[in-house]
A and B are shown apart, each in its own frame.
Chain A
Amino acid sequence: MRTSALRLSVVYAASFAAALVALVFVIYLSTTRFINAEVDTVIERDAMGLLEAYGRSGTRGIISELDLRERTFSRINAVYLLTDAEGFVIAGNLPAWPVMRGRDGRWVEFEIELREGGLVTGRPVRAMVLEPGPGLRLLVGTDLSDRRDLGRRFAVAAGIGTLLVTFIALGIGYRQSQRILARVEAVSRACKGIVGGNLAGRLPVAGDDDEFDTLATEVNSLLARLARTTEILRTSLHSAAHDLRSPMHRMRLRMEQALSEDEGDGNAAAAGRETIDLLLKDVDQMQRVLTALLQIAEAESGTVGARPEPVDLDVMLDELAELYQPQAEQQGISLTVACAPGSRVLGHRQLLAQAVANLIDNALKFTPEGGRVDLRTQVADGRLAITVADSGPGIPAGDRARAIEPFVRLANAPPRDGSGLGLNLAAAVARLHGGSLRLEDNQPGLVARLELPVGAP
């Protein structure tokens, strides 16, 4: 991991430095070209002036012009030399005709030696050679030391700058890649833990709101779903085994008893019928549990298959209320329904109807005579809530979440003839539609609140 961080940052810094060097080189080239052109223009203009002086008054013109320039403030770093046909120096600031190093038409380049306090330094000069008159040779040039220094300084600055930038890039790159690799490492560690069986483990979310966090959040919601499905599978298997074992146990006992009674008793036929009746009830009970389990499994895994269709919940609730009305009246319970108009969701009508029927069924089961059960829908914040409120004993706050778990029977629950999975199926249907089921306090009584996103799933 560490070596990867270093390798990544070196590559990062090196490419950065290379780009910088290329940039500096281009700037250097264009700058020197500009300065060179400028030097040539200045020399040419100067030479023109001297030729004009020659034109006016011959050699004397040049001499007096050069003399004037030497005495007054004039062009910096200017180099002049005027020689006659024999090569004698007539005027200028050079001791003798220099040894040329390069020649390009009228342009020449050479070096002059300058003594300064015992120190000899060579100074490059660029100059133009002219012949103002017969035998006369005029050299007009510029000492290029300043320009050379500038170039040198430029190179040094660029070098230091590049080095500096490279180091900074290296540092930042190393830190950055170390950070990225640290997060990859954290994710990989978390994954190892989860694979190792810690299903509650989640990928770390740094809170930086970056791509890593987005990915981790996505993966975490995936893990949460997997964990829930696994958990449901685990508890369902456990509880199903238990809930199927009880009726089977009863069936076994009954059959054995019937067998032993058969041996002597004359009432065997009647007893046999009764036993068989009870056995059928047990089988029905087992069938209910299995059916509910299958439905929950389908809803939880989202493999219902049928396409969701628009369902008018207000119509559906009215119909369900009407279905349960006679039973409520028989129990002396007032069942009311009030729906927000246009409560339409996209969903599975049969499953939604069964979920709400289970909630009503549950409410009626726990509400004493003279009590009330109220069905309502409310639309708020893009969510549609179906509430089934009863005036029964309610469920203590600590037990409410548990009551939705499969097969849980709370202490005050009357014996059930159903599957014992009604609320669980309702919760599974809610989740299938992207909603939720919560149990709340009705003060007194219980409110089952089934929330669905409008336009779900």
Chain B
Amino acid sequence: MNLLLIEDDRDAAGYLVKALAEAGYRVDHAADGREGLFQATEHQYDGIVADRMLPHLDGLTIIEVLRKQGNRTPVLILSALGSVDHRVEGLRAGGDDYLTKPFALSELLARIEALLRRGQVAPAPDMKLRLADLEMDVLARTVTRAGRRIDLTAREFKLLEYLLRRAGQVVTRTMLLEGVWDLHFDPQTNVIDVHLSRLRQAIDKGFDRPLIQTVRGAGYSLRAD
């Protein structure tokens, strides 16, 4: 997977390039907006991580130019501007996700992973989801594990669906809050953890192999191994 990182803070960029490389990505770095736009149009990337405020050309303009050229490479915007409004602005400009600085590296990795997967998802989402012996029928709203029916509340169902659609990926607490509750703030407490532990009770209790796994310092992951 090829990534382009457009970030003018050289120290921060150095760390990020190293961390992304360790996570298995091939990363090109551009230090200002002009160079970033040039690289983005010259090469084919799987994803772009762009700082919002850049010398010469800001991140939103880069995205707008790319989108006008028909370039649909997913873009994650990094920004020190964190209000809901800035977020909306960034997404309206054509960005696919928005992350406020400072962020945890695990959050960035989880979001990049989700972004790259999203680029591959078929236009019509699957209505029957499956992971190991766990099956979900989204339309019939039923969940079974090893053939046994599991009763979930509407929210637990939504939560599980979100995890199932990102099976194998790391999903952070803020991603869950945004994706399942449509809330874009930090609730400052462990509300999400309690929901996850309930869901875990419902689908993993009594089975040898737990599917919901806690990823230390990052979030959760639904995986079969």
Contacts and interface: CB of A to CB of B under 8 A. Distances in A.
Interface in B184-206: 184-191, 194-195, 197-198
A334 interface: no
B181 A422 contact: no
Contacts of A327: 189-191, 194
Interface residues of A, number: 29
Interface in B74-115: 82-85, 88, 100, 102
B224 interface: no
Contact of B194 (A326, A351, A417, A419): A326
Contacts of A419: 188
B191 A306 contact: no
A120 to B, nearest CB: 103
Contacts of A348: 84
Nearest to B187: A357
A81 B191 CA distance: 126
Given A283-B102, A419-B188, A350 B183 contact: yes
B155 interface: yes
A306 B87 CA distance: 10
B185 A354 contact: yes
Interface in A36-84: none
A196 B167 CA distance: 65
Interface string B169-187: 0000000000001011111
Chain B interface category by residue count: 20 to 34
A291 B88 CA distance: 17
Contacts of A323: 181, 183, 187, 191, 195
A326 B191 contact: yes
Contacts of A350: 84, 183-185
Contacts of A324: 191
Contacts of B186: 288, 291
Given A326-B195, A353-B183, A361-B187, 17 more contacts: A287-B102, A288-B186, A298-B85, A304-B85, A305-B85, A319-B181, A323-B181, A323-B187, A323-B191, A327-B189, A330-B194, A350-B84, A353-B185, A354-B185, A357-B185, A361-B188, A364-B189
22 contacts: A283-B102, A288-B186, A288-B188, A291-B82, A291-B186, A294-B82, A295-B83, A298-B85, A304-B84, A305-B85, A319-B181, A323-B195, A324-B191, A326-B195, A326-B198, A327-B189, A348-B84, A350-B183, A350-B185, A357-B183, A361-B187, A361-B189
